A and B are shown apart, each in its own frame.
Chain A
Amino acid sequence: GQQLNQSPQSMFIQEGEDVSMNCTSSSIFNTWLWYKQDPGEGPVLLIALYKAGELTSNGRLTAQFGITRKDSFLNISASIPSDVGIYFCAGPGGSQGNLIFGKGTKLSVKP
């Protein structure tokens, strides 16, 4: 079935650094969602994108809906220890347009 390619798989960064991750699809999406999941918890919606070229911010997080509609980017500026977790992109690539998830980017932040 449809898959989302998310990279990088993991990142180890120093507190204060900026982070960038991306997600690509083999087909066109009309929605891109970005979630963060802490260990043992459910995913929390960070940003939703609905329009090609759209750039949306949520605090230190900024996400963009790629012009080709086949990719999306998430940037985190000035990372802090609580940014640690797994970040998932998601889009309507499943049967009947249901959400499917990328494999996740595991972020580790050194104080």
Chain B
Amino acid sequence: DTEVTQTPKHLVMGMTNKKSLKCEQHMGHRAMYWYKQKAKKPPELMFVYSYEKLSINESVPSRFSPECPNSSLLNLHLHALQPEDSALYLCASSQVRLAGGELFFGEGSRLTVL
């Protein structure tokens, strides 16, 4: 069983909705990540938090808004999404943000935008 927990597992939303994806880890890791994965493609980095501070935003549109309330929690707030944003959203954590460090992934949240 993964030690990174993501909720919800599935989410369907309209383009005018506001929703949030949640991620929790209790491994004492201080770096947390959001990745986006389209079908038959590898995961692509969206955001990195290090010690609860946003350290990397890979030019992600503002309709995606990350939040790190504490060292165990990571949220991704969604607003005015487009159908092409439908994908598997993966949360990951690592001990610290270290180049090439081992990332541990959650099971993902499957998002469908209608």
Contact = CB atoms under 8 A, between A and B. Distances in A.
A91 interface: yes
Contacts of A29: 100
Contact of B42 (A30, A41, A98, A103): A103
Interface residues on B, range: 20 to 34
B3 to A, nearest CB: 11
Interface string A22-62: 00000001110101000011111100100000000000000
B99 A92 contact: yes
Given A41-B107, A42-B2, A48 B45 contact: no
Contacts, number: 66
A96 interface: yes
Nearest to B104: A45
Interface of B is mostly: loop
A97 B101 CA distance: 9
Interface residues on A, range: 20 to 34
A73 interface: no
Contact of A31 (B45, B92, B100): B100
A52 B31 CA distance: 26
A40 B42 contact: no
B48 A98 contact: yes
B40 to A, nearest CB: 8
Interface of A: 29-31, 33, 35, 40-45, 48, 88, 90-92, 94-104
Interface of B: 2, 4, 6, 40-43, 45, 48, 55-56, 58, 88, 90, 92, 98-108, 110
Given A42-B2, A97-B98, A104-B42, 4 more contacts: A42-B6, A91-B100, A98-B99, A103-B41
